[in-house]
Amino acid sequence: MATLRFKALDEISRRELIETKLSDQKISGYFGADVFDRETMRQYIAKDAYESLCNAIDEGRRIDRKFANQIAQGMKTWAMERGATHYSHWFQPLNDSTAEKHDAFFEPMQGGGSFETFKGELLVQQEPDASSFPNGGLRNTFEARGYSAWDPSSPAFIIDKTLCIPSIFIAYTGEALDFKTPLLKSLQVVCKAAEDVCQYFDKDVKKVNVTLGWEQEYFLVDEALFLARPDLMQTGRTLMGHIAAKDQQLDDHYFGAIPSRVLEYMKEFEEQAYRLGIPIKTRHNEVAPNQFECAPMFEEANIAVDHNTLLMTVMRKVALKHKLRVLFHEKPFAGVNGSGKHCNWSMMTDTGVNLLAPGKTPKNNIQFLTFFVNAIKAAHDYGTLFMASIATQSNSHRLGAHEAPPAVMSVFAGSTLSDMLDSIEERVSDKKMTPDEKTDIKLDIGKIPDILLDNTDRNRTSPFAFTGNRFEFRATGSSHTCAAPLTVINTAIAEELIQFKKEVDALIDKGVKKDEAILQVIRKYIIASKKIRFEGNGYSQAWLDEAGKRGLESIGSIPEAFTVFNRPQYKELLTKHGVYSESEICARYEINLEILIKKIQIESRVLADMAANHIVPTAIKYQNVLIQNVQGLKDIMPDEYMELASEEIRAITKIAKYVKSIREHNRQMIDARKKYNNTENIIERANGYWDVVRPIMSVIRQDIDKLELIVDDELWPLPKYREMMSIN
């Protein structure tokens, strides 16, 4: 009998609910308790140092070195009062994880004794031994000095008795080796561009922030089953497994009652999230069995990105306590929905106005339309880059399937706003408008909020959908960082806003009135970006055909998607605004290829091992049972009855056929790996893994899944889909 699987099933049947003891306090009573936020800073830092820090946070100014010591001192006191013994710079290297290197506050003294210390210079900069992070050749190993530098705009926090200091991570030579640095640069560019455009409408606006609200999807699987699946353990997804008879066909999981075990888990990670200042608002079941989602209240984008990465770490840890494993992989199970991470994007002024929310007056609404149309134009001009920004090996299983964003970029505006854009296109002209025409159109624009209220149409098949007061970018993978797409979206929108302002100013200089000039450029942008707008079903073949006719690009493969960043027009966009340097783009291209190769290599090795050492021996064992049986029948039955054993003989033959095919393909796959491992050129190597190794993996999987249907259930060594997809 397949011991591990049945042990696991037995263990699960005896699981007891692990209850979460929640604090007696209201959530607002402990929200942010483990965060060094402004309130706490004020208490622990002297006034002038505090003000210098606030300036750094609000205006991106440098902190005077002389204050760094005082700030570090304050942080240390606060952290030690909460039991912290260590500190660590906390950053996001280019491999979808977070990195930390803990150092103790404790320091022994010469001649005996010891004390706790934390100096300003250690707060500002730390030099982890960083030679093993992906660097795309930017940093020679013998000169392995990447360093992390404090990002004061994201508050420090305590986790597991360690004071964590959000940081950027850069090579000694100055290039960014993380996701945060380019994100911060892109935020600076887009915020400045938006602030400038806002001046047309409200001179009081001094600061604009990008707001991000992410929605995190994930799967849960029982720990015992997880441990019995080498593929889940090592690759985060199942490389084999026949689909269950019942999975999501009945739509009975989506928004259903949350299973008690899962609820206890959610309660616990949410409580930790609240202590860390992560404002989780919603939790619910998702479409696939065992798939769930959580989403916070939106926040300033840099903080929201940090909170998402931090929460993923917390969720992983808390799952262990509940004897669960959380799967952030985009497609852990074939045949059911995968997981994404929707990024809801908008901008907010320091006067409290959401720039993508229709307002109450025509003036407010022209401002809204300005930002709305510029975002659409950004998606039109740089849509391929948007899609390239979320292209990863694991997300490739989702893209283009009928569950996630289609491979072609489009924007959903909703029928009300679509009509409004059409009407502006028709009624505004480059000629001077009469006062009546102007009043009419402004009146219509003024009506937007009323009509939007009843206009609840939601299009779930659009990769970039306007959802009332924000754009929702749905293509990001669940395991990926929001920073990757956000960096591109911010920069593209910044570019549009800057051009927009130039064009409006040029018209004003020619004597056109400001409001007319704005409407004229809006109209121009509406026309220029028309082909990206699509209101229908983004999954349909009809749309793919239509998109082809419109000349919209669909990215073929992931290695190809990586090359999009190297196209001159996109390179120009990113370097012009200082978001990436030329060498950073090159390095990232190499890193992306490298990660793709390694991930497929790992999957392929795990698959080969499981096929040869788990599946084939099991199949042969069962085949022998059948052979023995047929042999026995032959011994006791007259020849003319042997026809009755024909199905059994067929099963024996089928097993032999699948086993042979698995073995042959395994050999082919290993040979292909060998060949491409020895290919010097990294692009050819990546293409080889993508075009040759990957398809062989699917053939092997198909054969294994067929065997799963033939072989005696008692012998099958791996937990089956139906077992992994129900949590009790």
Q: Which does 295 bind (CB under 5 to 8 A by kind): ligand ADP, Mg ion, none?
A: ligand ADP
Could you give the CA distance from residue 35 to residue 640 in angstroms, rounded to a whole number? 82
Q: Which residues contact 94 (CB under 8 A, 6 or more apart)?
A: 133, 134, 135, 136, 177, 178, 179, 588, 591
Considering the complex, what minimum distance in angstroms separates the CB of residue 269 from ligand ADP? 17
Q: Which does 211 bind (CB under 5 to 8 A by kind): Mg ion, ligand ADP, none?
A: ligand ADP
Amino acid identity for residue 329 in this structure: H
The Cα angle at residue 81 between residues 79 and 84, in degrees rounded to 5: 45
Q: Is 344 in the site for ligand ADP (CB under 6 A)?
A: yes
The interface region with ligand ADP, picked from 107-115, 206-214, 398-406, 419-427 by CB under 6 A, is: 206-214
When the beta carbons of 178 and 472 are compared against ligand ADP, the nearer one is 472
Could you give the CA distance from residue 704 to residue 606 in angstroms, rounded to a whole number? 14
When the beta carbons of 268 and 472 are compared against ligand ADP, the nearer one is 472
Q: Which does 282 bind (CB under 5 to 8 A by kind): Mg ion, ligand ADP, none?
A: ligand ADP
Q: Is 575 in the site for ligand ADP (CB under 6 A)?
A: no
Could you give the CA distance from residue 522 to residue 541 in angstroms, rounded to a whole number? 32
The DSSP string of 269-291 is HHHHHHHTT--EEEEEE-SSTTE
- Binding to ligand ADP in span 441-470, by CB under 6 A: 469-470
Considering the complex, what minimum distance in angstroms separates the CB of residue 354 from ligand ADP? 5
Q: Is 367 in the site for ligand ADP (CB under 6 A)?
A: no
* Interaction pattern, residues 279-318, with ligand ADP; x per rule: CB under 6 A: ---x------------xxxx--------------------
Considering the complex, what minimum distance in angstroms separates the CB of residue 475 from Mg ion? 12
Considering the complex, what minimum distance in angstroms separates the CB of residue 295 from ligand ADP? 4
Q: Which does 280 bind (CB under 5 to 8 A by kind): ligand ADP, Mg ion, none?
A: none
Per the CB < 8 A criterion, the answer to whether 107 and 114 are in contact is yes
Q: Which does 212 bind (CB under 5 to 8 A by kind): ligand ADP, Mg ion, none?
A: ligand ADP
How much helix, strand and coil, in percent to the nearest 5, is found in the chain? 55, 15, 35
Q: Which does 666 bind (CB under 5 to 8 A by kind): ligand ADP, Mg ion, none?
A: none
When the beta carbons of 330 and 472 are compared against ligand ADP, the nearer one is 472
Eight-class DSSP state of 345: E
Binding positions for Mg ion, rule: CB under 5 A: 342
Amino acid identity for residue 513 in this structure: K
- 70, 88, 98, 211: which one binds ligand ADP (CB under 6 A): 211
Amino acid identity for residue 175 in this structure: E
Q: Mark out the alpha helices in 475-567 (DSSP H runs).
A: 483-509, 514-528, 541-550, 558-563
φ and ψ at residue 221, rounded to 5 degrees: -140, 145
Integer angstrom CA distances of residue 495 from 186, 521, 527, 570: 10, 15, 18, 11
When the beta carbons of 298 and 658 are compared against ligand ADP, the nearer one is 298
Q: Is 414 helix (H, G, I), strand (E, B) or coil?
A: coil
Considering the complex, what minimum distance in angstroms separates the CB of residue 56 from ligand ADP? 24
Could you give the CA distance from residue 86 to residue 163 in angstroms, rounded to a whole number? 6
Amino acid identity for residue 334 in this structure: A
Per the CB < 8 A criterion, the answer to whether 708 and 614 are in contact is no
Considering the complex, what minimum distance in angstroms separates the CB of residue 379 from ligand ADP? 16
When the beta carbons of 135 and 337 are compared against ligand ADP, the nearer one is 337
Considering the complex, what minimum distance in angstroms separates the CB of residue 485 from ligand ADP? 14
Residues that bind ligand ADP (CB under 6 A): 211-213, 215, 282, 295-298, 344, 346, 354, 469-470, 472
